[in-house]
Amino acid sequence: MKVLKFGGTSLGKPDRMHHVASLITNDDVPKLVVLSAIAGTTNALVNIDQALGAGEKEKAAELIDDLYAHYQGFIQNLYQHTDALEKANTVIKEHFDLIRSFPDQAYQPQFEKDILARGELLSTQLFTIYLKEKGISVRLLPALDFMSIDVHQEPDIEAIEHKLKALISANKGCGLFITQGYICLNHQGNIDNLKRGGSDYTASLIGAALKAEEVQIWTDIDGMHNNDPRIVEKTFPVSRLSFDEAAELSYFGAKILHPASIWPVQKYNIPVRLLNTMQPDAPGTFISKSTSEDEIKAIAAKDGIVAIKIKSSRMLLAYGFLRKVFEVFEKYRTPIDMITTSEVAVSLTIDDSTNLQEIHQELRAFGKVEIDRDQTIICIVGAKVSENRGVVRKVFDSIDRVPIRMISFGGSKNNISFLIDTKFKKAVLDRLNIGLFSIDLIE
């Protein structure tokens, strides 16, 4: 069994859905296909929920009407026969009737989850109707029947495996299954989700649960690139990555893959391919246990970082100081990304500044605290990059005089990271592209 996930842009227009249908039916390999919501839908649903939460009923009603009209237009070009169109109309009406019932009730936090789930429920139901219209044999497996998270919002692969295998064996002989990405049930049995971009995570969890032959993530780019293609010219797809390298790149900003989606496939050693729906023959990126020994694979950048420096002479020769500092972050459930220490100061970074004020207040008890916002972590990933002096020299030669706020080196042998002010980001990424990949920008 292969697990294939298609993102919102791959489904964003009726003819793209037609194209996805031909991609998943061009051989006899059994497949389970995970779909995101149609492009733009989840954002639109977020806006509807926010309007409802703010008590702006008229605005919510307008947004609901707009999205409804979008779906009505979409299905006109999706199907050929009126009976398929009628079925699709019924599906759309059901979901929108539910959304329209919310403004009449007092707002509850659960509405958000119920509203956001509509995107994936709609895309999978409309797509299944299309496949059936084409005479393709297919089963829609509701994600809410097998995908669940526990009290700590963690999925349990064994529970998913148990339920999903039962559903699949109840459909013996079927070689094509469709399901929703992103959505799940929580420990209270209510609709929930795996957080924004979570459809990749769904595909990875399913791949791990079924011990799939491979997981394919289909998007609109031909694999993970060596540098950020939205910022830097002349980037190229990386053909192979190890799970560790892919995890570091996706965590440190490579948008193509949800960072949480690596651990399940890594745990069960299921290879992953990143492929391009618009260019299905392009080789993309292959992620597996082993990798090529290329010195440097890729560069990623993560914005929105806050650097915090605590300077204290009390740290000198003291033990237990770092523990006290870390406890403050633990108390406010704020993960630390990078950390460097000297005998009298500790610098660290966070990307969630929700509780920054409270954290700042408590850290003051330990010494002088300096805070810098708008920082970017630049992360260079490759097999043993940090053990290779040539690479280290090239990195520092390339960035030349750009001031570096922090460096993390040796924490993992696959990664060198440093922190800069975000205003230098483009220059640094450009220079590293030239310096590390010998790319000539002046042709």
- The contact set with Mg ion (CB under 5 A) reads 7, 197
- Residues in the interface with ligand ASP (CB under 6 A) total 12
Q: Does 124 bind ligand ASP (CB under 6 A)?
A: no
CA distance 338 to 336: 6
Q: Does 277 bind ligand ASP (CB under 6 A)?
A: no
Binding ligand ASP by CB under 6 A: which of 9, 10, 36, 288?
36
Nearer residue to ligand ASP within complex by CB, 196 or 426: 196
CA distance 126 to 122: 6
Beta bridge partners of 370: 309
Using CB under 6 A as the binding rule, the residues of this chain from 298 to 357 that contact ligand ASP are none
Using CB under 6 A as the binding rule, the residues of this chain from 59 to 118 that contact ligand ASP are none
Q: Does 198 bind ligand ASP (CB under 6 A)?
A: yes
Provide the minimum distance between the beta carbon of 69 and ligand ASP in the complex, in angstroms, as a whole number. Answer: 20
**Using CB under 6 A, which of the segments 91-99, 192-200, 300-308, 414-422 binds ligand ASP?**
192-200
| Contact partners, residue 236, CB within 8 Å, separation at least 6 | 225, 226, 437
**Using CB under 6 A, which of the segments 63-71, 169-177, 196-204, 365-373 binds ligand ASP?**
196-204
Task: Say which entry of ligand ASP, Mg ion, none residue 119 contacts (CB below 5 to 8 A, set by partner kind).
Answer: ligand ASP
**Are 358 and 332 in contact, with CB atoms under 8 Å apart?**
yes
Site string for ligand ASP, 2-31 (x = CB under 6 A): -----xx-----------------------
Q: Does 119 bind ligand ASP (CB under 6 A)?
A: yes
Nearer residue to Mg ion within complex by CB, 7 or 155: 7
CA distance 141 to 132: 15
Q: Does 261 bind ligand ASP (CB under 6 A)?
A: no
Nearer residue to ligand ASP within complex by CB, 7 or 382: 7
Nearer residue to ligand ASP within complex by CB, 218 or 321: 218
Site string for ligand ASP, 215-234 (x = CB under 6 A): --------------------
Task: Say which entry of ligand ASP, Mg ion, none residue 259 contacts (CB below 5 to 8 A, set by partner kind).
Answer: none
**Are 34 and 179 in contact, with CB atoms under 8 Å apart?**
yes
**Which positions lie near ligand ASP, rule CB under 6 A?**
7-8, 36-37, 42, 119, 181-182, 196-199
